[in-house]
């Protein structure tokens, strides 16, 4: 086993462990943190496959932006894990049968020789840059889906706004400028009251 193979199996083991922890951990924050670990090791495996652009993109985009946001959301929501787990044992038999069936079938197909690509065939010739190739494809042959993807993002933005925006609210901000220049007579109203006599 050469060093590359060792790194691959090492990263894969961490990936599988992290993915399992995502669905088994009781604390949603731990689950999210393990998901980050899973993405990170996934990026490592892609780097091993010489897809350095995708490796950096998944770490920057997923770990750096999406998951951090997700972590904040999870921390802010008070998720009751026990409620989520209600009915787990009721659904387990059917779920387990379907799951095992899928795993066995997938194992049979994916275990075929077809998917065992020889490592030597997967080496890029020198001077070919993965990032450059992706960029060229994206802006030439894939320009149509690329533009459409931008519209999908716009729809996401419009949808988020329409679902959360509830019209302008009366602002309760304080204006520091006015606060500084405030005078005593603006705040205290002195009333003249006749003394009440018994």
Partner 1 sequence: MFDHFVVPKLMPAAPEIFLATMALLILFIDLVVKDSRRSLTYLATQGTLLALLVWRGAPYLAAIAGNNPEALSEVSEIVYTFSNMFVLDLMADLLKLFLYATVMVVLFYSRNYLLDRETLNKGEYYVLTLFATLGMMVMISANHFVTIYIGLELLSLSLYAMVAMNRDSVVSTEAAMKYFVLGALASGFLLYGMSMIYGATGTLEITGVSERLMGGNVNKGVLIFGLVFLVAGLAFKLGVVPFHMWIPDVYHGAPTSVTLLIGSAPKLAAFAIVMRLLVNGLITLAVDWQQMLIVLSVLSMAIGNLAAIAQTNLKRMLAYSAISHMGFMLLGITTGVLSVPGGMLDARPALNAYSSAMFYVIAYVLMTAGTFGMILMMARAGFEADELDDFKGLNQRSPWFAGIMLMLMFSMAGVPFFVGFFAKFSVLEAVVASGQYWLAIVAVLFSLIGAFYYLRVVKLMYFDAPTNPAPLEAGMDMRILISANGLAVALFGIFPQTIMSLCAYALLRSL
Taking the least distance from each CB to partner 1, the nearer of 89 and 114 is 114
By CB under 8 A, residue 112 contacts partner 1: yes
Q: Which of 77, 126, 151, 170 binds partner 1 (CB under 8 A)?
A: 151
Instruction: Give the burial class of 43: count Cβ atoms within 10 A of its Cβ; 0-12 exposed, 13-18 middle, 19 or more buried.
Output: buried
State yes or no: residue 149 binds partner 1 (CB under 8 A): yes
76 lies in the binding site for partner 1 (CB under 8 A): no
Cα–Cα distance, 147 to 162 (Å, whole number): 23
CA distance 22 to 38: 9
Is 20 a binder of partner 1 (CB under 8 A)?
no
Tokens of 139: 């802006």
Q: Is 173 an interacting residue with respect to partner 1 (CB under 8 A)?
A: no
Counting beta carbons within 10 angstroms of the beta carbon of residue 185, is it exposed (0 to 12), middle (13 to 18) or buried (19 or more)? exposed
Q: Is 163 in the site for partner 1 (CB under 8 A)?
A: yes
Going by C-alpha positions, the residue among 46, 24, 43 that lies closest to residue 34 is 24
Pick one of 75, 84, 109, 119: the residue that binds partner 1 (CB under 8 A). Answer: 109
- Residues of this chain that interact with partner 1 (CB under 8 A) are 105-106, 109, 112, 114-115, 136, 140-145, 148-149, 151-152, 154-156, 158-159, 161-163
């Amino acid at each position: 086993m050469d060093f590359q193979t060792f790194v691959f199996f090492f990263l894969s083991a961490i990936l599988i462990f992290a993915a399992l922890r995502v669905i088994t951990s009781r604390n949603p924050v731990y689950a999210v943190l393990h998901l980050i670990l899973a993405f990170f090791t996934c990026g490592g495996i892609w780097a091993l496959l010489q897809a350095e652009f995708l490796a950096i993109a998944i770490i920057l985009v997923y770990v750096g932006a999406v998951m951090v946001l997700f972590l904040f959301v999870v921390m802010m929501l008070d998720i009751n894990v026990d409620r989520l787990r209600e009915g787990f044992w009721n659904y387990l038999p059917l779920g387990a049968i379907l799951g095992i069936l899928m795993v066995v079938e997938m194992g049979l197909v994916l275990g075929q020789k077809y998917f065992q690509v020889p490592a030597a065939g997967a080496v890029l010739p020198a001077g070919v840059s993965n990032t450059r190739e992706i960029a060229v494809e994206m802006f030439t042959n894939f320009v149509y889906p690329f533009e459409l993807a931008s519209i999908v993002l716009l729809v996401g933005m419009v949808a988020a706004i329409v679902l959360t925006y509830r019209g302008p609210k009366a602002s309760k901000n304080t204006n520091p400028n006015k606060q500084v220049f405030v005078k005593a007579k603006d705040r205290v109203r002195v009333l003249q009251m006749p003394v009440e006599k018994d």
